[in-house]
């Protein structure tokens, strides 16, 4: 008879940086975005554990081995006048799916959001990722279909920062 695996969640520590980078690369492979993934361990360490942390990570361990993660950070709702949590990435390694790790990670994030007085927990999902969409909807999440995500990055981001548009007409 096989014993039930031991599952635990924990906040990431500085010594987990290499594990987090490995999980990010595995996520990029799953999402077919490997060419866009530049998971740099030095940057991760600085951004997660430096003097001004930009994000936090929860790690799901199975039998003492990292098997998934959730990387998140605070945002703010001006309409609610309350902070929120934005889930940037949620990933469970393929060999450990079906153990409820994704549910446990999301439930832990919901708990953190409630504990911190947040008004919402939100994230984005790739439109082709129907397994994830179904999973989220079974948990009660709803798509924000009236919203369109926009992004400035790379050259466009730098161009706007270096050459802001000149206002037209009188101010």
Give yes or no for a contact between 98 and 62, defined as CB atoms under 8 angstroms apart: no
Q: Which CATH number fits domain 7-162: 3.40.47.10, 3.40.640.10, 3.40.630.30, 1.10.560.10?
A: 3.40.630.30
Q: Rounded to 5 degrees, what are φ and ψ at 87?
A: -85, 110
Domain ranges for the chain, please list them.
Answer: 7-162
How many Å apart are CA 48 and CA 167, to the nearest integer?
Answer: 38
Strand segments (E) across 49-165: 56-62, 65-77, 82-92, 121-123
Give the torsion sign (CA, 64, 74, 50, 157). positive
Render pLDDT for 38-78 as a digit per residue (tens, 0 to 9): 999 999 999 999 999 999 999 999 999 999 999 999 999 99
Task: Say what the pTM is.
Answer: 0.91
Render pLDDT for 100-147 as a digit per residue (tens, 0 to 9): 999 999 999 999 999 999 999 999 999 999 999 999 999 999 999 999
Burial (CB count within 10 angstroms: exposed 0-12, middle 13-18, buried 19+), residue 67 = buried
Instruction: Return the active site residues.
Output: 136
Give yes or no for a contact between 124 and 88, defined as CB atoms under 8 angstroms apart: no
How many Å apart are CA 29 and CA 34, to the nearest integer?
Answer: 5
């Amino acid at each position: 008879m096989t014993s039930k695996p031991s599952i635990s969640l924990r906040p990431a520590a500085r010594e987990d940086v290499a594990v987090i980078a490995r999980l990010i690369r595995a996520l990029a492979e799953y999402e077919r975005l490997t060419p866009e993934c530049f998971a740099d361990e030095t940057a991760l360490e600085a951004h997660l554990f430096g003097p001004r942390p930009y994000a936090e990570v929860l790690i799901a361990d199975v039998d003492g081995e990292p098997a998934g993660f959730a990387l998140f950070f605070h945002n703010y709702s001006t309409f609610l006048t309350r902070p929120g949590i934005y889930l940037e990435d949620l990933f469970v390694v393929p060999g450990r799916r079906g153990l409820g790790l994704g549910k446990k990670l999301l439930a832990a994030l919901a708990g953190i959001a409630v504990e911190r007085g947040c008004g919402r927990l939100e994230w984005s999902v790739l439109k082709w990722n129907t397994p994830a969409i179904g999973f989220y909807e079974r948990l009660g999440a709803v798509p924000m279909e009236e919203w369109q995500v926009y992004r400035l990055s790379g050259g466009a981001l730098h161009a706007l920062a270096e050459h802001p548009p000149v206002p037209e007409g009188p101010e």
